[in-house]
Structure 1
Amino acid sequence: MTSVDTGVQPAPPGAAPPYRWRWAALFVILAAEVMDLLDATVTNIAGPTIRGDLGGSAAVIQWLGAAYTLAMAVGLITGGRLGDIFGRKRMFLLGAAGFTAGSLLCAVAQEPWQLVAARVVQGLFGAVMLPQGLGMIKEMFPPEEMQKAFGLFGPVMGLSSVGGPTLAGWLVEADLLGTGWRMIFLINLPLGLAAVLLGLRFLPESRSPRPPRLDIPGAILVSAAGLLLVFPLVQGREYDWPLWSFLMIGASVLVFVLFGRYEARRGRAGGDPLVVPGLFRKRAFTGGLVLGLVFFAAMIGFVLSLNLHTQMGLGYSTLKAGVSMIPWSLGMVIGFGIAQPLQKFGRGLLQGGTVVMALGVLALVVTLNMAGTGLTPWQLAPALALTGIGMGAMMAPFFDIVLAGVEDHETGSASGSLTAVQQLGGAFGVALLGTVFFGMIGGGVTGAADDQAPRLRTALAAAQVPAPAQDRLVAGLRACGRDRVVAEDPAEMPASCDRLVAEARAAAPTPQAAADIARALNDSGRRSVQEGSASAMKSVLWLVDGMLLLVLLISFLLPRHARENGGPGH
């Protein structure tokens, strides 16, 4: 959910009667939140299935998430300004209609690049739609109802986080009307249409009395900086990390610096910068931006990598993978609930949640080591629940603590920047941790195949395969396993696997031996992929724990307590 604060103050008591249709309007705004929350996570579950249908390299799975969150990140910075200038109701309706159209484009995509482009459309229009809701809520509701209105966002977030992965898995498995994975986007059409039609009827007209001017050069600079960072992280591995990938990452740092200098100059000249330059002189705010970038990168990258492991490595169906994430989602809801009466501990609560989440990730490493290749959702549940509890407790006080030292006139810019960093962190996490997973899995499968070799040789000897042929089959299985998991197109059989099939046929002295050889190769190959994927997943988990340790260290830059009268900022 977006935390953009437009800075609109509620009307003082007695100044005017509250808006008549405010509760109906609130549910229209919540419908938009549900669409965003669902679409931010569904491709984590459905990604392997989508790639299997449309083809494309492993980077396609990463781009399905990164394209959406990166577009959302850069769009959110200007999305709230558009509502101030042109009217929040108008921009909400435009964003909802565009998001719905983007969902339809996703559903009818026939090529990977078309789907990625449609995800960008979703993200951009979502960034126009989401910031308008909070501004309208602050105008519609009197102070005594404000907390109750904002309080509905928590259950909506919780239900969406619990139901999203499960719904995505079920829709893919159910294959309703033969649509397969496309239904995860088609389901947005009735939601989006309802948001537009009901929004026309129930949303109030709302506009800032002193609308700022658009900062188009600033928006272009920050968009370019984000793309220069994420693109090489996703695509660099595909091309064996050429020089241009490192040059782009370096260039992204320079463009971010240029963006900061431009914003400062625009502010001094009396313009309306996207980000108030004075914010970066506040240690708490700057530390909060860095902390948010690292934390949300760890969180979103963790979820993607775990779904890749359960589906590509363990062979879970999309529904089973989605159900496996329920303990994590429920844990996050529980963590939010636990954190509410503990808000007085401020930074300590945030740090405690980070430690609990790190322990949950460590418990997941232990679980992978103990369960081996027979890992079940029930075995995953305790560690995932603990991770979710820590995550919910950490996130509960985050925005209010970071905004503790922000002045009232800086709140809108600060909230928008924090939310944009949240989305950018998600894109960065998908790129970084997804790249680590795909980069490690090939070597992991190769190492696991070597470990399986003695067992395979025993089975081949029992099938009366001579030693020279055993050597060729063991080496062939090793090459085939690695080539399958790193293949550009998962539907295309690598040449090494074709050679393995031919070698197996040639080595079989009898039809019964051929069946025994095929069974031994399949069993050994399956175990190699499972163990190789688990090895890659453990590498990702250690990296996640390292990122959480960094979050813990950065948190000491934050103030001890949130602002006393901070409104809902998340």
Structure 2
Amino acid sequence: MASDLDKQDFSHEIEHHDTIPADPEKSPIVESEDDGEITLKTKLAVLSLILMYESYLFTLVMPATILTYINADLGPDARYPWIAITWNLGAAIIVSVGGRLSDIAGRRWFLMFGAISAAVGALVGATGQSITQMIISGIIFGIGGGFQEMCFACAQELVPNKYRFQTLGIMILANHFSSFSPLIGYVFIAYTKIGWRACYWWCFAWEVVTAVMLYFFYHPPTFETKHRDDHKTKWQLIKEIDYVGLVLFTGGCLLLLLALNWGNGIHPWNSAWIVAPLVVACVCFIALGFWEVYAPLPYPILPPHLFREWRRFTAFLVVCFVAGMLYYSLNVIWPRQSGLLWVPADKPIIRGVYASMVSFGTIIAGWYCVSLMPWLKHEKWQLVGCIVIQTALIGSLSSVGLGDKAQAIGTVIAVSSVNLPPSPLSFGMVSLHLADQTDIGIGVGLISTFRLIGGAVATAIYTSIQTSEFGKLLPGQVSAAAESTGFSGSIESLLAAAKANTPVAYSVVEGITNSTIAAVQHAVLVSNSKSYRIVYLVAIAFGCVAIAAALSVKSIDTSQRSNEVAAKLETEKFESVAKGSDESIVG
């Protein structure tokens, strides 16, 4: 079967599809020649993409899990959180930019570059001798991760439309191994001589295997195939790239994410370091909107016709923004919350088990995505149901206290199990709603960008709320603890020791006793517990916004579940031509 790229004049489509978007439900369905059969070569290509997704997750989760150990070894350096933050900065920007450029120029070498970049990042981290070098490793990881997250678009375009949700389900299910990243990381720390560096060597090995698999098995349409009808050269495409839009989009995202992370304890929220980047980011996004709509662009970096389709596209951005707010922030908040409230600092393996609770929920989600999600269909109502349940469970987390450890563990696992499915549901629904399948890279890429930005926004908001509430609650709790134990020394000194909450800090407080130390340590726990309740109450409000957006999306029509394939592997096209030639000779 010829792909959409082969069937249509590409330049003609670019010229007209922003003004008259097609209705996919009324478009003729072109059946594939093999009646929806997925070949071995396609399966191997998808397997390569699955391995890439697994590698991508290891580079995301492992370094974030072991940050304190890296800082203890190479620091102390207050910049150490940026080892993980830079991953989000790079990936959030690159996934959409890379998706759009690969829509135009072909995907293979973008993905190869992503895997090789991540391997280099792992090598830099494994041999790191300073926090600065580890941050550079994180930047390289982020660049590679952005290209690697394109895997969801890449896999969908290779299989018949009717199998897109099954394919996405398999990809989600396959992340079982990476779901144990926190635990694996702590095992490396506890049982290997090189400690946390083993995590980076682990990531390096995965990325190398991924690059090899992609090289041998992933051969999507090339540049020449994509532009067979319009006969454009690479130099022509280079001149027609939307450089202004690229700079405005990249600059706006970068400044927004930097401001959000700088405001996370590095600079006050009302300082020029925060306000100026936010203002400039807003200006960039406003200018970007006008530029994309009114400039005569053959290849806009953000095709305006996508954003005009609220029910088929824009509403999904809202849904995935909120889903990302909880998914990525929970991976930061929960390990910290469980470590503060329930796990001793000298129990790294147990900390790893607690940190993996979010991952345990994603494992459950994987089984749901591969078994029930494609079978149930009615994707809109699956989307609504997951978000409604998620929002209700967040309410349960807001009631968790010091004595509610079992409730907290069970709820975190349950929240994670319903938080992940909205992403593959959105990936599949948006891809099937696209009037032009050549937009699949940017369409799915923007969903990933909004998920990642949502995570950065939520991490900044939730961490700021928790820190602020903790600061308000602690003085009263410490004063009560001092009074109950008859402490007669300086309350200010005791409060300073409570903020540090270390044996050394308590030892320098005059007149302190063991009973006072125990009471103050309990006060710290109570203050932390109550401060996290506020965080989850705020998250409920965002959940309600996502419910409203999910209710407005367009359902998938039966006619969209066809045998049509958006793109064929170059190796399969060659075999198809050869087979046709042989048959004509025999005839």
What range is the shorter-chain TM-score in?
Answer: 0.7 to 0.9
Distance verdict in 2 for CA 1:122–1:241, change over 3 Å: same
Tell me the residue number matched to 2:489.
471
For 1:368, what is the secondary structure of its paired residue?
coil
Tell me the residue number matched to 2:360.
330
For 2:47, what is the secondary structure of its paired residue?
helix
Tell me the residue number matched to 2:582.
none
Distance verdict in 2 for CA 1:55–1:518, change over 3 Å: farther
Establish whether residue 261 from structure 1 lines up as the match of residue 290 from structure 2.
yes
For 2:87 and 2:38, how far apart are their aligned partners in 1?
A: 36
Tell me the residue number matched to 1:555.
550
For 1:531 and 1:232, how far apart are their aligned partners in 2?
A: 31
- After TM superposition, list the pairs within 5 Å mapping 1:435-474 onto structure 2: 435-457=464-486, 470-472=488-490, 474=491
User: What is the deviation of 1:564?
Assistant: 5.2
Q: Which structure shows the higher helix fraction?
A: 1
Equivalent residue pairs, number: 519
Of the structure 1 ranges 314-323 and 89-98, higher mean CA displacement relative to structure 2 is found in 314-323
User: What is the deviation of 1:189?
Assistant: 1.4
Distance verdict in 2 for CA 1:521–1:220, change over 3 Å: farther
For 1:557 and 1:146, how far apart are their aligned partners in 2?
A: 22
Distance verdict in 2 for CA 1:214–1:172, change over 3 Å: farther
For 2:226, what is the secondary structure of its paired residue?
coil
Question: Residue deviations 1:407-445, cap 9 Å, x none?
Answer: 134444322221221222222223332333334333343
TM-score norm. by structure 2 comes to 0.77
Match of 1:38 among 40, 58, 72: 58
User: What is the deviation of 1:123?
Assistant: 1.3
For 1:392 and 1:264, how far apart are their aligned partners in 2?
A: 33
Tell me the residue number matched to 1:398.
426
Establish whether residue 301 from structure 1 lines up as the match of residue 329 from structure 2.
yes
- After TM superposition, list the pairs within 5 Å mapping 1:210-289 onto structure 2: 210=226, 213-236=240-263, 237-244=265-272, 245-266=274-295, 269-284=296-311, 285-289=313-317
Matching residue's letter, 2:389: V
Quote the sequence identity (%).
17
> In the alignment, is the contact (CA less than 8 A) between 1:66 and 1:428 conserved in 2?
no
User: What is the deviation of 1:75?
Assistant: 0.7
For 1:547, what is the secondary structure of its paired residue?
helix
Establish whether residue 160 from structure 1 lines up as the match of residue 178 from structure 2.
yes
Of the structure 1 ranges 306-315 and 333-342, higher mean CA displacement relative to structure 2 is found in 333-342
Tell me the residue number matched to 2:339.
311
Tell me the residue number matched to 2:133.
114
Distance verdict in 2 for CA 1:357–1:187, change over 3 Å: same
Distance verdict in 2 for CA 1:388–1:145, change over 3 Å: closer
Distance verdict in 2 for CA 1:380–1:318, change over 3 Å: farther
Tell me the residue number matched to 1:13.
33
Tell me the residue number matched to 2:380.
347
For 1:204 and 1:286, how far apart are their aligned partners in 2?
A: 31
Tell me the residue number matched to 2:197.
182
For 1:331 and 1:233, how far apart are their aligned partners in 2?
A: 27
Question: Residue deviations 1:183-228, cap 9 Å, x none?
Answer: 2222111112222334333333641423565333322211211122
Question: Residue deviations 1:305-339, cap 9 Å, x none?
Answer: 11112224544544323312444433344345455
Match of 1:384 among 408, 412, 415: 412
Match of 2:532 among 515, 537, 561: 537
Tell me the residue number matched to 1:513.
none
User: What is the deviation of 1:90?
Assistant: 3.0
Question: Residue deviations 1:315-367, cap 9 Å, x none?
Answer: 45443233124444333443454552674443332222112112222222333
User: What is the deviation of 1:271?
Assistant: 1.8
Distance verdict in 2 for CA 1:562–1:12, change over 3 Å: closer
Matching residue's letter, 2:70: I
Tell me the residue number matched to 2:96.
77
Tell me the residue number matched to 1:511.
none
Tell me the residue number matched to 1:465.
none
For 1:152 and 1:78, how far apart are their aligned partners in 2?
A: 26
Tell me the residue number matched to 2:507.
501
Higher relative contact order by CA 8 Å / sep ≥ 6: 1 or 2? 2
- RMSD of aligned Cα (Å): 3.6
For 1:11 and 1:118, how far apart are their aligned partners in 2?
A: 46
Tell me the residue number matched to 1:356.
389
Matching residue's letter, 2:339: Q
For 1:147 and 1:83, how far apart are their aligned partners in 2?
A: 22
Q: What residue ranges of structure 2 are gaps of 5+ in the alignment? A: 8-29, 228-236, 567-587
Establish whether residue 366 from structure 1 lines up as the match of residue 395 from structure 2.
no
Tell me the residue number matched to 1:191.
206
Distance verdict in 2 for CA 1:197–1:349, change over 3 Å: closer
Match of 2:222 among 207, 211, 220: 207
Match of 2:515 among 499, 510, 520: 520
For 1:229 and 1:147, how far apart are their aligned partners in 2?
A: 33
Q: What residue ranges of structure 1 are gaps of 5+ in the alignment? A: 461-469, 508-516
- After TM superposition, list the pairs within 5 Å mapping 1:40-55 onto structure 2: 40-55=60-75
User: What is the deviation of 1:11?
Assistant: 9.5
